[in-house]
Copies of this chain bind each other. A is one copy, B any other.
């Protein structure tokens, strides 16, 4: 077979497989959040499980994350309840529906809202550590080892007007940024303990299709050798998204090219999505991506107001930082500034060298320095200040705790213009699946033997403006389990 080049976009026909080198029931491609949970659940049904991981260790991009899992509902998780928060399944579902945007998947939302609290217990039973304590305030990532956080738009309009707010970010116990590593150490160790056959340095090259268009296995390169791996029950694609594949980003999510920081462990090359497309699977919401501009902490900066080149506000600044980021990215001419006064100013922790585009004793000076039409910025600040003094924001519905007049000079404008942005991004589009993980073709019917989860699939998070921290890990672990179970029970 040395003259054959295998590539994700060209499946291998089963009749062209010279011999099966490995046989398993469930083959999992990618050993990150979704893949590890798929492996655990598939093993628990008694199925043989083989995992192919391209890296030399497990964890995927999830291992580099903050380790937040977005769960709640069913009256509240033990942690929510212990800290005095109730959380109904209906409120969680309402929030997830809104955060899914115009393409929200009602059935997926329902399944998740009903099962999220039990899923949190499942993680705890596997030994994933959660301290159980609540950390108030507004964070990008906590620097403590606390569990429960406000990690999304729950308290921000319009989300707060639709669903009763509750904090739902459940963070793995770890001091500072990096709880994802702890989470993935546990999940990967459990998959091994349950008896999954894990192959590292193993790249899935392409799917093997049978005569009826179903998936029978994969061709892989394992430790440098081409190997044919038969999957009697199913293949689970859990190989991440495509943010590091700039060609795919340009084709499918060109607006994300503006984000220079890739949120990835390095292997989100879209190969899982491409393998699926090659056998007739459809991908949905491929234009959508998470993006953030971490303009705080210090959280006092949330009391500032963003304006564009017309001197107008465009978002309630207390919204989730990823939502604010999307609005910043779309302003005309790529121009946006955060206006602050002397009382709330502090250098952004994540970008202390932020460009200060203007400083002045009056807003008129700032306006002129920024080149905004005369009077426009002054008017915006005046009307904001007048209502903020009353604890009101009739224009953008910023919540009262973040409202105060910007009235203590000197004033400043921090640049969030495109050339100064270092926006972080990862992709949200992926293979179209049922909640059980079954991958769907162009007519919306399952492709036999093919499952997907995590960012290879299009899951709960499918609208950049609606993302919340913890949604991707919550979705990947929850629906990874379902995909593993669906494959094993086929």
Q: Which residues of A contact B (CB under 8 A)?
A: 7-11, 13, 101-103, 158, 211, 213, 247, 250-252, 254-255, 257, 273-275, 277-280, 282-287, 310, 312, 332, 373, 375-376, 379, 383, 394-396, 432, 441-445
Q: A256 CB to closest chain B CB, in angstroms?
A: 9
Copies per complex of this chain: 2
Partner of A278, one of B247, B257, B442: B442
Contacts of A285 in B (CB 8 A): 287
CB of A280 within 8 A of CB of B278, answer yes
User: Can you list 11 contacts pairing A with B, beta carbon distance less than 8 Å?
Assistant: A9-B445, A10-B441, A11-B213, A102-B255, A251-B284, A274-B443, A277-B280, A282-B283, A286-B286, A375-B383, A379-B379
Contacts of A443 in B (CB 8 A): 7-10, 274
Identity of the chain B residue whose Cβ is nearest the Cβ of A247 in the assembled complex: B444
Contacts of A102 in B (CB 8 A): 254-255, 257
14 more A-B contacts (CB under 8 A) besides A9-B443, A274-B442, A278-B442? A8-B443, A9-B280, A9-B441, A10-B280, A101-B254, A102-B254, A274-B443, A277-B280, A277-B282, A277-B441, A278-B441, A279-B280, A280-B280, A310-B396
Identity of the chain B residue whose Cβ is nearest the Cβ of A278 in the assembled complex: B280
Q: A19 CB to closest chain B CB, in angstroms?
A: 20
Identity of the chain B residue whose Cβ is nearest the Cβ of A393 in the assembled complex: B373
With A277-B282, A277-B442, A442-B273 known to touch, is A310 a contact of B395 (CB < 8 Å)? yes
Contacts of A252 in B (CB 8 A): 284
Contacts of A444 in B (CB 8 A): 247, 251
Contacts of A395 in B (CB 8 A): 310, 373, 376
A42 to B483, CA, bound (A): 47
Contacts of A13 in B (CB 8 A): 211
Contacts of A273 in B (CB 8 A): 442
Contacts of A101 in B (CB 8 A): 254
Contacts of A103 in B (CB 8 A): 250-251, 254
Q: A70 CB to closest chain B CB, in angstroms?
A: 22
A228 to B11, CA, bound (A): 24
Task: Give the interface centre of A101, A275, A277 by most chain B CB atoms within 10 Å.
Answer: A277
A275 to B441, CA, bound (A): 10
A9 to B273, CA, bound (A): 17
CB of B254 within 8 A of CB of A442, answer no
Identity of the chain B residue whose Cβ is nearest the Cβ of A257 in the assembled complex: B102
A442 to B430, CA, bound (A): 13
CB of A394 within 8 A of CB of B379, answer no
Identity of the chain B residue whose Cβ is nearest the Cβ of A312 in the assembled complex: B312
Partner of A9, one of B278, B379, B442: B442
CB of A383 within 8 A of CB of B376, answer yes
A8 to B445, CA, bound (A): 11
A251 to B445, CA, bound (A): 13
Contacts of A441 in B (CB 8 A): 9-10, 277-278
Q: A250 CB to closest chain B CB, in angstroms?
A: 7
A277 to B273, CA, bound (A): 13
Partner of A373, one of B11, B394, B432, B442: B394
Contacts of A310 in B (CB 8 A): 395-396
Partner of A213, one of B10, B275, B375, B376: B10
Q: A367 CB to closest chain B CB, in angstroms?
A: 12
Contacts of A274 in B (CB 8 A): 442-443
A7 to B444, CA, bound (A): 11
Contacts of A250 in B (CB 8 A): 103
With A8-B443, A395-B310, A443-B8 known to touch, is A282 a contact of B211 (CB < 8 Å)? no
Contacts of A376 in B (CB 8 A): 383, 394-395
Identity of the chain B residue whose Cβ is nearest the Cβ of A386 in the assembled complex: B375
